[in-house]
Amino acid sequence: MRDIGRAADGLPNHHAQIGLSGLLFRCWHRGTQEIDLILGSFAESSFACFDNTRLDRSEALLDCADPDLCDAIVRRHTT
């Protein structure tokens, strides 16, 4: 997720916007409605101001399984 927003010449980076749109889509279409609502809402309100590092971390987070994400969000630990 490099060069989000603008290319070196100052013009909008079309490929970066497609990547950001794809990331938003993945947040809204996880498969579990609860996680979709949490991640999708967060992504819409936050991703526009994220730098590349935060976007990369968010993308890596999407590779986690829904039960793991849900446990992490609600801070529920299984024993």
Written as tens digits, the pLDDT of the chain (79 aa) is 444 444 444 434 554 666 888 999 999 998 889 889 999 999 999 988 888 889 889 888 889 998 888 888 887 655 5
Phi, psi (degrees; rounded to nearest 5) at 40 = -65, -45
The one-character DSSP state at 3 is S
CB burial of residue 2 (10 Å; 0-12, 13-18, 19+): exposed
What is the end-to-end Cα distance of the chain in Å, rounded? 36
* Amino acid making up residue 68: D
The residue ranges of every structural domain in the chain are 14-74
